[in-house]
């Protein structure tokens, strides 16, 4: 992976996004539903794109919102819809477009008090709290389960993606990211609506929509903050006196942290509360782009430079559904390392969970989690990439914890009931403080203890550009394309194209030996592909695994390029 020479440094002003031009393009550029790159396409979590590339524009948002309204009508979802946004420049114009359609469709709409930015977990929590006790209202009509009176939600965010991106996510009545069947339906319907110039999209002027009888305000922030003590032992953090630092990375939770510190009287310093849609304060990521990625050592340079000021420091991405944990000894923890520690700690310090809840991980997460789960005696659900696969388990209590390799996680309340069924970077970050407060050791130290017990794996994630056609080819890799019996000198024990946890396609391939593995799959949200690899035999062995994995990907890419040239 080629590292940009400016990675970890601030962007030159000349390279920052022109917000005025970006917003102008949102309204000016009209997508063509016949062009694949301009169609609505839900990845692992929502539709994302840039108005400059005509992949996230007013037409997309109007069509997706109407499609959600149509889906709600089909499913009998008649409760309120909770709407949240992050701090990306395109989020506000997209919010306006969405409100115009939702109001015209008569949807009871819940907007944040004071137009406060809204983290993804705050929307998930609002849905679950509203729906609590309303399950009995469901009924069967015409053979379709009608979710009468239940709430759902929309979060307008492209997550940690660059400043010129916009994103749109739909959260189902279980509070989590909608499943594939739902997003496929919404995406198909949205593209149908775009094709005839939005003829069937209902819409009213914003000034009427914002003052409609169906438009209401909801205090996302105080509701979320007041519930936190039911999932995190904030009293232990307060009494320990440990020093915590947080960098909101200019994201949607920027004002939540001060409220948390004030309410629970913990020593928590917000290192920056700046919100700037250019994100000029963010160090450039590995490829020279600005990403609010708390798992990237380049993007986290600002917090790493002051890590010695705190016992634990952390950051969250733009919609605050991902976390990054920094400790004085370990620095920025690899996401999988922290997930393993969090799982090991939680299942030993939540006695009211009982013996039922299992552990959810993705197929590209560390095998260390498998070792920890086995020692804990907990069932492990190995799932495809995407947090939507954990939502139902976190909702019904079959999962106590769900986490993915890209630093997204959530878990249940201390009493075992559902908290959020979408990723929650805030509680994942605060948990690091609880761990330090109650054990006297930080997560980095506890991970080292795990390596003494199970061995010390090394891992890497390699990313490279890929066109939509190349991504499609990679997603269809099959076991038959793996002709070798060995991987980096070790016998291949398994080749997976479906996840053991639910037998659903992983959108790529995973090759496993007793000492290591790799997985190759396209990104669901960016024009890149990813190779994940892990070895329990050291760096040299890891490099050998990656080299062989890249060889496989190169063959797949060259095949698709040859076919394109021939055609």
pLDDT tens for each residue of 105-114: 999 999 999 9
Which range is least confidently modeled, 70-84, 174-188, 451-465?
Answer: 451-465
Q: What is the mean pLDDT of residues 242-249?
A: 98
DSSP one-letter string for 276-343: -TT-TTSBP-TTS-----TT-TTTTHHHHTTGGG-SEEEEE-TTS-BEEEEETTTEEPPHHHHHHHHH
Domain ranges across the chain? 17-218, 223-454, 458-566
What span, in angstroms and rounded, lies between the C-alpha atoms of 32 and 257? 42
Tell me if residue 547 falls in helix, strand or coil: helix
Q: Per the structure block, which two tokens stand in for 75?
A: 């499913």
Residue keyed to tokens 């037998």: 503
Query: Would 17-218 and 458-566 be classified into the same CATH topology?
Result: no
CA 126, 129, 135, 136 dihedral sign is negative
In angstroms, the CA 101 to CA 119 distance is: 22
3-state secondary structure of 186: helix
Question: How many Å apart are CA 529 and CA 550, to the nearest integer?
Answer: 11
Beta carbons of 539 and 458 less than 8 angstroms apart: yes
pLDDT band at 145 (very low <50, low <70, confident <90, very high): low
Please tell me the predicted confidence (pLDDT) of residue 412. 98
- Above 90 in pLDDT, residue 462? no
According to the model, what pLDDT value does residue 140 have? 47
Q: Which CATH class is domain 223-454?
A: alpha beta
Task: Please list the residues that pair with 380 across neighbouring strands.
Answer: 359
CATH topology classification for 458-566: TATA-Binding Protein (3.30.310)
The sign of the torsion formed by the CA atoms of 182, 477, 529, 248 equals positive
Using H for helix, E for strand and C for coil, what is the string for 224-279?
HHHHHHHCCCHHHHHHHCCCEEEECCCCCCCCHHHHHHHHHCCCEEECCCCCCCCC
pLDDT at residue number 564: 55
How large is the C-alpha radius of gyration of the chain?
Answer: 23
**Alpha-carbon distance values, 274 to 45, 86, 224, 243, 321 (Å):** 27, 14, 22, 21, 19
Q: Report yes or no: 466 and 485 within 8 Å, Cβ to Cβ.
A: no
Is residue 205's pLDDT more than 70? Answer: yes
DSSP 488-542: TTEE--EEEEE-TTT--EEEEEEEE-SSEEEEEEE-SSSSEEEEEEEESS-HHHH
Would you state the pLDDT for residue 470?
Answer: 80
Lowest model confidence (mean pLDDT) among 5-9, 57-61, 230-234, 508-512: 508-512
68-74: Cβ within 8 A, 24+ apart = 68/154, 68/170, 68/186, 69/101, 69/102, 69/105, 69/107, 69/202, 70/189, 71/182, 71/185, 71/186, 71/189, 72/107, 72/152, 74/144
CA–CA distances in Å: residue 280 to residues 12, 16, 19, 271? 8, 7, 12, 16
Helices 425-439 and 120-131: crossing angle in degrees, nearest 10, is 90
> What's the pLDDT band for 141 if we cut at 50, 70, 90?
very low
Whole-number Å distance between alpha carbons of 259 and 261: 6
Q: Is 159 a catalytic residue?
A: yes
- Between 436 and 521, name the one with better pLDDT: 436
Angle subtended by helix axes 256-264 and 220-227, to nearest 10: 40
Diameter over CA atoms, the chain: 69
Query: How many whole angstroms separate alpha carbon 412 and alpha carbon 390?
Result: 12
| Location of structure tokens 């109407």 | 66
pLDDT in tens, 384-421: 989 999 999 999 999 999 999 999 999 999 999 999 99
Residue 442's closest CA among 230, 234, 237? 237
42's enclosing H/E stretch is strand 42-43
CB 496 within 8 A of CB 512: yes
Q: Which residues of 266-298 are buried (b: 16+ CB within 10 A; e: fewer)?
A: bbbbbbeeeeebbbbbbbbbbbbbbbbbbbbbb
398: left (phi over 0), alpha (psi -120 to 50) or beta: alpha
pLDDT score at 565 = 58
The count of residues in the chain is 567
Please say if the pLDDT value at position 136 is more than 50. Answer: no
Residue closest to 365 by CA, chosen among 387, 337, 329:
337
Give the pLDDT of residue 271. Answer: 97
Contact 338, 346 (CB under 8 A): no
Question: What does the pLDDT average to over 254-271?
Answer: 98
Mean pLDDT for all residues in the chain: 93
Q: How far apart are the first and last CA of the chain?
A: 31
pLDDT of residue 137: 44
Cβ atoms of residues 352 and 456 within 8 Å: no
Quote the tokens at residue 547.
């080299």
Cα dihedral value 427, 429, 431, 437, nearest 10: -140
The CATH topology of domain 17-218 is Alpha-D-Glucose-1,6-Bisphosphate; Chain A, domain 3 (3.40.120)
Q: Does residue 495 have a pLDDT over 80? A: yes
> Confidence class of residue 562 from pLDDT cuts 50, 70 and 90?
low
pLDDT of residue 144: 52
Question: Could you say which of 50, 51, 55, 159 is catalytic?
Answer: 159
Name which of 480, 519, 178 is nearest 363 in CA terms: 519
Give the whole-angstrom CA distance, residue 540 versus residue 96. Answer: 52
Give residue 524's pLDDT band: very low, low, confident or very high (50, 70, 90). low
Task: Kindly list the strands in the beta sheet with 399-404, ordered across the sheet, starting from the edge strand earlier in the chain.
Answer: 380-383, 358-362, 399-404, 408-411
Please say whether the beta carbons of 153 and 82 come within 8 A.
yes
């Amino acid at each position: 992976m080629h590292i940009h020479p400016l990675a970890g440094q601030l962007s030159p002003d000349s390279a920052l996004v022109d917000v005025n031009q970006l917003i102008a393009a949102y309204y000016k550029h009209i997508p063509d539903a016949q062009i694949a790159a301009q169609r609505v396409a839900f990845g692992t979590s929502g539709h994302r794109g840039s108005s400059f590339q005509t992949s996230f524009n007013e037409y997309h948002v109007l069509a997706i919102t109407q499609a959600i309204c149509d889906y709600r009508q089909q499913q009998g979802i008649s409760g309120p819809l909770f709407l949240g946004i992050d701090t990306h420049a395109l989020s506000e114009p997209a919010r306006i477009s969405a409100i115009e359609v939702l109001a015209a469709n008569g949807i009871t709409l819940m907007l944040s008090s004071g137009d406060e930015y809204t983290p993804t977990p705050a929307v998930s929590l609002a849905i679950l709290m509203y729906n609590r006790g309303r399950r009995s209202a469901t009924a069967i009509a015409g053979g379709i389960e009608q979710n009468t009176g239940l709430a759902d939600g929309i979060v307008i965010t492209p997550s940690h993606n660059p400043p010129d991106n916009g994103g749109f996510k739909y959260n189902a009545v279980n509070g989590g990211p909608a499943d594939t069947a739902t997003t496929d339906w919404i995406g198909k319907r949205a593209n149908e609506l775009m094709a005839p110039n939005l003829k069937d999209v209902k819409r009213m002027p914003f000034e009427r929509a914002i003052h409609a009888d169906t438009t209401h305000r909801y205090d996302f922030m105080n509701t979320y903050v007041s519930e936190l003590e039911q999932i995190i032992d904030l009293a232990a953090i307060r009494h320990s006196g440990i020093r915590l630092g947080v960098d909101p990375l200019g994201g949607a939770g920027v004002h939540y942290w001060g409220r948390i510190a004030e309410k629970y009287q913990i020593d928590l310093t917000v290192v920056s509360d700046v919100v700037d849609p250019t994100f000029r304060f963010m160090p450039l990521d590995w490829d020279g782009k600005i990403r609010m990625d708390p798992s990237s050592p380049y993007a986290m340079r600002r917090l790493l430079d002051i890590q010695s000021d705190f016992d634990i420091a952390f950051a969250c991405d733009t919609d605050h559904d991902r976390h990054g944990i920094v400790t004085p000894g370990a620095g920025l923890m690899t996401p999988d390392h922290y997930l393993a520690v969090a799982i090991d700690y939680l299942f030993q310090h939540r006695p009211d969970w009982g013996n039922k809840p299992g552990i959810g991980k993705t197929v590209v997460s560390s095998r260390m989690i498998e070792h920890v789960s086995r020692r804990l005696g907990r069932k492990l659900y190995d799932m495809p990439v995407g947090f939507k696969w954990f939502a139902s388990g976190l909702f019904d209590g079959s999962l106590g914890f769900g986490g993915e390799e890209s630093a997204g996680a959530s878990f249940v309340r201390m009493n075992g009931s559902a908290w959020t069924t979408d990723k929650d970077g805030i509680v994942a970050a605060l948990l690091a403080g609880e761990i330090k407060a109650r054990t006297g050791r930080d997560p980095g130290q506890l991970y080292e203890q795990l390596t003494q017990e199970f061995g010390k794996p090394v891992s890497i994630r390699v990313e490279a550009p890929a066109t939509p056609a190349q991504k499609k080819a990679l997603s269809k890799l099959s076991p038959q394309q793996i002709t070798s019996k060995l991987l980096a000198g070790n016998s291949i024990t398994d080749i997976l194209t479906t996840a053991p946890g639910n037998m659903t396609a992983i959108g790529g391939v995973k090759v496993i030996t007793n000492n290591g593995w790799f997985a190759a799959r396209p990104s669901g949200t960016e024009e890149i592909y990813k190779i994940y690899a892990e070895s329990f035999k050291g760096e040299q062995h890891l490099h050998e695994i990656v080299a062989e994995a890249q060889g496989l990907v190169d063959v797949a890419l060259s095949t698709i390029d040859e076919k394109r040239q021939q055609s």
